[in-house]
Amino acid sequence: MGLGIRELGIGESFANGEFRDSNFYILYSDFYMDRAKAFRSFVRGVAPAAFGLAVFLFAMVIMGNSGVASQQPAQPQAPQTPRAAAPIDLTGYWVSVVTEDWRWRMLTPPKGDYTSVPLTPEGRKVADTWDPAKAASDGCKAYGAAGIMRMPGRLNITWENDTPLKVETDAGRHTRWLRFASTQKPADSASWQGHSVASWELTGGRGGRGAATARGGSLKVVTTNLRVGYLRKNGVPYSENAVVTEYFDRHAAYGTEWFTVTTIVDDPRYLTQTFITSTHFKREPDGAKWSPAPCE
């Protein structure tokens, strides 16, 4: 039994005439066409176009998959050493430039002069008992980590095996070790320079696509496990509970390289609030003026 074109669902366009396109040509009658003949005619017309479309889509899928396959996941990189990750360079010889607090830094202040230091009553009592006659025996107390960066003098900063920063002072001939491994345990006994944990605080960094932007940042150092010492040479105290937080920042002015260390001392025993100072160092070309002397 024949089947009408309408019954094939080809559409109203077949109802009253010829249907042509670039791939097939079907003639119909107003009566019936043999089902098999109509189907074969339809397939002969549609199949080439459908096949071409299928080949195109298949090629696109293959190309897409090959692109994805070529984009291998990034291999994990070994962590950088603290030296390689440094956003600023603090190495070299530096000299302190005393532009503030001259009377407390360049001279030994008189007994009882603890101006600007927020001492507790107990702290003032300790400061008031300082004996200038015994200053020689107390000499190194002013060269602990809470006070040594305020001493006029020079620093020599170097890397030790790309991991800790070594800060040597010619004033007092002390050495500070700024270690980046926070898991390292402090020494069993307290010391003048204590246990310092360093970390880089980054600012800026690489953008998305395109040129890299400049990196910057600071060195943060937190020091604990300190011996009792002096914030100033005239016996202004800090206790064994003191925590010293420092920020080292590099900058340049008029062709000269500088760094500033901001020192924040917290001491629940001798200070009513944080004691904050900023100290400036200028780069020197070499160690020609380096002259270490022991604390006295």
Note whether 99 and 65 are same-domain residues: no
- Domain count of the chain? 2
Is residue 18 included in any domain, yes or no? yes
| End residue of a domain, out of 35, 70, 105 | 70
Cα distance between residue 176 and residue 195, in whole Å: 9
Is residue 75 included in any domain, yes or no? no
Is residue 265 included in any domain, yes or no? yes
Note whether 22 and 117 are same-domain residues: no
Note whether 161 and 56 are same-domain residues: no
Residues 50, 55, 60, CA angle at the centre, nearest 5°? 125
Q: Does the pLDDT of residue 292 top 70, yes or no?
A: yes
* pLDDT computed for residue 79 by the predictor: 85
Q: What is the overall mean pLDDT for the chain?
A: 81
Is residue 76 included in any domain, yes or no? no
What are 58's two structure tokens? 């298949």
Note whether 45 and 146 are same-domain residues: no
* pLDDT computed for residue 139 by the predictor: 78
Is residue 78 included in any domain, yes or no? no
Q: Cβ of 148: how many Cβ atoms within 10 Å? A: 23
Of 15-19, 27-31, 78-82, 274-278, the range with the lowest mean pLDDT is 27-31
pLDDT digits 0-9 by tens, 240-272:
999 999 999 999 999 999 999 999 999 999 999
Note whether 127 and 232 are same-domain residues: yes
**229-250 mean pLDDT:** 98
Q: Does the pLDDT of residue 226 top 90, yes or no?
A: yes
pLDDT digits 0-9 by tens, 153-173:
999 999 999 999 999 999 999
Of 106-115, 196-205, 285-294, the range with the lowest mean pLDDT is 196-205
* pLDDT computed for residue 33 by the predictor: 44
* pLDDT computed for residue 30 by the predictor: 42
* pLDDT computed for residue 8 by the predictor: 40
Note whether 155 and 250 are same-domain residues: yes
* pLDDT computed for residue 125 by the predictor: 98
Note whether 26 and 167 are same-domain residues: no
Is residue 288 included in any domain, yes or no? yes
Give yes or no for a contact between 186 and 157, defined as CB atoms under 8 angstroms apart.
no
Residues in CB range of 27: below 8 A, 6 or more apart: 18
Note whether 274 and 190 are same-domain residues: yes
Note whether 57 and 98 are same-domain residues: no
Dihedral angle sign, alpha carbons of residues 279, 280, 286, 287: negative
Note whether 59 and 135 are same-domain residues: no
Note whether 158 and 197 are same-domain residues: yes
Q: Does the pLDDT of residue 206 top 50, yes or no?
A: no
* pLDDT computed for residue 23 by the predictor: 41
* pLDDT computed for residue 280 by the predictor: 98
Is residue 266 exposed (0-12), middle (13-18) or buried (19+ Cβ within 10 Å)? Answer: middle
What are 148's two structure tokens? 């040594």
Query: Which residue type sits at 278?
Result: S
Is residue 109 included in any domain, yes or no? yes
* pLDDT computed for residue 65 by the predictor: 55
User: What band does 76 get if pLDDT is binned at 50, 70 and 90?
Assistant: confident
Nearest to 239 by CA among 250, 260, 224, 249: 224
User: What band does 209 get if pLDDT is binned at 50, 70 and 90?
Assistant: very low
* pLDDT computed for residue 48 by the predictor: 53
pLDDT digits 0-9 by tens, 83-97:
999 999 999 999 999
pLDDT digits 0-9 by tens, 94-143:
999 999 999 999 999 999 999 999 999 999 999 999 998 887 778 799 99
Domain that includes residue 222, residue range: 92-202+217-294
Give yes or no for a contact between 146 and 238, defined as CB atoms under 8 angstroms apart.
yes
Cα distance between residue 159 and residue 90, in whole Å: 10
Q: Which of 30-39, 101-110, 197-206 has the highest mean pLDDT?
A: 101-110
Give yes or no for a contact between 244 and 145, defined as CB atoms under 8 angstroms apart.
yes
What are 249's two structure tokens? 């920042």
More confident residue, 175 or 36: 175
Is residue 1 included in any domain, yes or no? no
Note whether 171 and 288 are same-domain residues: yes
Output the 3-class SS for the chain. CCECCHHHCCCHHHCCCCEECCCCEECCCCCCECHHHHHHHHHHHHHHHHHHHHHHHHHHHHHHHHHHHHCCCCCCCCCCCCCCCCCCCCCEEEEEECCCCHHHHCCCCCCCCCCCCCECHHHHHHHHCCCHHHCCCCHHHHHCCCCHHHCCCEEEEEECCCCCEEEEECEECCEEEEECCCCCCCCCCCECCCEEEEEEEEEECCCCCCCCCCEEEEEEEEEECECCEECCCCCCEECCCCEEEEEEEEEEECCEEEEEEEEEEECCCCECCCEEEEEEEEEECCCCCCCCEECC
Cα distance between residue 103 and residue 78, in whole Å: 50
Pairing state of beta strands 92-97 and 25-26?
A: unpaired
